[in-house]
Amino acid sequence: MLIFANPDHAAHCGRFEMFRGRQVPCHEVPARLDQVLAELERRRFCAPGGPAALREPLPLERALLERVHAPRYLDFLENAWGEWLALDPANAALDALPSVWPVRGFRSDIAPQNFAARMGLFSFDSGSPLTAGTWRAAWQGAACAASAAQALLGGPTEDRPTATLALTRPPGHHAGPDFFGGYCFINNAAVAAEALLAQGARRVAILDVDYHHGNGTQTIFEARADILTVSLHGDPRTEYPFYLGHADERGTGAGEGFNLNLPLPAGTGFDAWRRALHSGLQRVSDHGADAVIVALGVDTFAGDPISRFGLASQDYLTLGADLAGLGLPLLFTLEGGYAVADMGVNVVNVLEGVMI
Ligand code: Q9C
Ligand code: ZN
């Protein structure tokens, strides 16, 4: 297994998010990824003779990002912090959060000059602060995803790794073609999918096991038949992101039948979750994919502070083994997981389950 760790992840460090009517400290913090690195070290996972090796990402081409995100959205993200500072130098001590959004009937074809109005045009919640280093961290995260794709399918067949991991934050699966939200800015799994196609894959599947529906990924690929999207998540009638993720969303146009949502009630434990996983894996298998992207959130953990499934740490070993059972090249992206102290064990258990 090759692990591409984002060297700049800590440059994205939000102070506050709006949560249940208050400003609270961000759940999506640099320590999450540091815990995974520490656990890899503790278990000598990337030591000589171990099952994995750690790598730096290769430089990213913007053209790949433009296969996933609208140029005007990428321009906005790249320049947002500078615009925020230009409004008031004292903004350097704050994060930028949106507070106004266009709903049905408003126009999205004309991007307002007003910065706050553009923040709202390109986002869907007030939980995802934009900070001084957001663009740099998100860019390098996409570089990790692209590098993981290149390493998975790029080399001679006999040298290819079983799996690769884009070990990055901020996460990506809520970010859509031209919007951020749910702590996500660039959709790393979608970037990986396009990068796998660029490496010669004909069909790709994305299996999203984060607690929350992968709304961004679904929206990016819903009209396509070459990229299957499957998401296992808390029922959007009660769980974030609320407005997408129902079972009747099956893809559109040429993509009809190539999106599968498996919503589960809050409180679901591992046995029922695993039955849904197996139906997702069956659909992935039927797709005839050349490689599978796993959007790996470990906010399905019983101890997660913002989610309501009941997985235990050892269940992540079983998850890894079930994924390996597909017998296909696997590319992991790191998504959610907010029980920071348990994050390392849970993620590395998945990787160990894949490799044994
Ligand atoms: N004010 C991921 O797991 N919580 N994102 C609501 C809105 C948002 C989770 C906060 C949860 C997003 C990648
Ligand atoms: Zn999540």
DSSP 8-state secondary structure symbol assigned to residue 154: S
Q: Is 208 touching ligand 1 by the criterion CB < 6 Å?
A: no
Q: Which residues are CB-neighbours of 147 under 8 A, at least 6 positions away?
A: 4, 55, 57, 58, 166
> Structure tokens of 198?
């660029």
Q: Counting ligands in written order, which one lies closest to the CA of residue 216?
A: 1
Q: Is 27 a catalytic residue?
A: no
* pLDDT tier at 20, thresholds 50, 70, 90: confident
Q: What is the pLDDT of residues 88-116, one digit of tens each?
A: 999 999 999 999 999 999 999 999 999 99
Whether 257 contacts 251, CB under 8 Å: yes
Q: Is the dihedral of CA 250, 252, 258, 263 positive or negative?
A: negative
Q: Is 183 in the pocket of ligand 1 (CB under 6 A)?
A: yes
> Is the shortest distance between the CB of 220 and ligand 1 below 6 Å?
no
Q: Which residue has the tokens 């006999």?
A: 158
CB of 240 sitting under 6 A from ligand 1: yes
Using pLDDT thresholds of 50, 70 and 90, give the confidence band for residue 19. Answer: confident
User: How far apart are the C-alpha atoms of 177 and 250, rounded to whole Å?
Assistant: 19
CA 320 from centroid of its chain's CA atoms: 17
C-alpha neighbours within 13 Å on the C-beta side of residue 177: 8
pLDDT tens, residue by residue, 22-71? 999 999 999 999 999 999 999 999 999 999 999 999 999 999 999 999 99
Question: Does residue 170 contact residue 136 with C-beta atoms inside 8 Å?
Answer: no
CA distance 1 to 330: 9
pLDDT (tens digit, 9 = 90+) per residue, 241-261? 999 999 999 999 999 999 999
Domains of the chain: 2-355 (3.40.800.20)
Summarize pLDDT for 302-323 with one digit per residue, the tens. Answer: 999 999 999 999 999 999 999 9
Residue from 9, 18, 28 to probe ligand 1 pocket by mutation (most atoms less than 8 Å from CB)? 28
Write down the pTM of the prediction: 0.98
Q: Can you name the residues that pair with 311 across neighbouring β-strands?
A: 301
Q: Which residue's alpha carbon is nearest to atom 9 within ligand 1?
A: 182
- Asked if residue 21 has pLDDT above 90, the reply is no
Q: Which numbered atom of ligand 1 lies nearest the CA of 336? A: 3
Q: Which amino acid is at 270?
A: F
How far apart CA 178 and CA 101 sit, in angstroms, is 14
Candidate of 9, 17, 101 to mutate for ligand 1, largest count of ligand atoms within 8 Å of Cβ = 17
Atom of ligand 1 nearest to the CA of 171: 13
Residue 14 CB–ligand 1 contact under 6 Å: no
Q: Among 125, 185, 242, 304, name the best residue to mutate to test ligand 1's pocket (greatest count of ligand atoms within 8 A of Cβ).
A: 125
Q: Is the CB of 182 under 6 A from ligand 1?
A: yes
Q: Which residue has the tokens 């590395």?
A: 348
Which residues neighbour 207 within 8 Å (Cβ) at sequence distance 6 or greater?
230, 231, 232, 280, 281, 284, 292, 293, 294, 295, 323
Cβ proximity of 183 and 203 under 8 Å: no
CA distance 82 to 188: 24
Q: Decide: helix, strand or coil at residue 190.
A: helix
Task: Choose the catalytic residue: 27, 174, 212, 233.
Answer: 174
Report which ligand 1 atom has the smallest distance to the Cα of 338.
3
CA atoms within 13 Å, Cβ hemisphere of 77: 28
